[in-house]
Amino acid sequence: MLSRRLRARVERLIQRTPVLHPVAPLYSRLSEAVGAYRHRADALAVAFGVALITWVLSNLTQWFLAEALGGGMPLLYIFLFNPLIGLVLLLPISIGGLGVNQNIFPFFYGLVGVSETLAVSVSFLLQFIIYLTSLPGGFLWWRERRAHHSVVTTPSA
């Protein structure tokens, strides 16, 4: 997506292939967003590094939770399933993934022999941690929004 020539070829391919027409706007926006960093590879590398560290910490948090509950979730499978679970949670079928998380964890981890009880327990604890750590950001958002919407009226003289 950083190469203008390659982007142009992909856009032509999308235009020539009717089945790909629905993804054309998405590809265009994504291509423009990445293209803005065409000459800022260092910024992309830093963003990739931050995302990678976040992914590793998320996986380790999940593994520590499983270990605290008696173990049984191999770290390798956590590294494999965590991104897949994240993709499923992108579907807008629940609020914050509640319920979906508790069904998808036993599905994936059941494939490798993890008990349903452990998988559901880890999913609930992980959900709780996510909600808990989101509260400060939610409070700051609410406070900023309230500050912008409050109207100060002064009496007429």
Q: Return the pLDDT at 18.
A: 86
DSSP string, 13-29: HHHH-GGGGGGHHHHHH
Report the C-alpha gap between 111 and 67 in whole angstroms. 19
Q: Return the pLDDT at 23.
A: 83
pTM given for the model = 0.68
Q: What is the DSSP letter of 134?
A: H
Report the pLDDT averaged over residues 64-70.
93
Q: Return the pLDDT at 96.
A: 66
Tens digits of residue pLDDT in 85-141: 888 877 777 776 678 888 899 999 999 999 999 999 999 999 898 889 889 988 999
Q: Return the pLDDT at 147.
A: 83
**What is the average pLDDT value for the chain, to the nearest integer?**
85
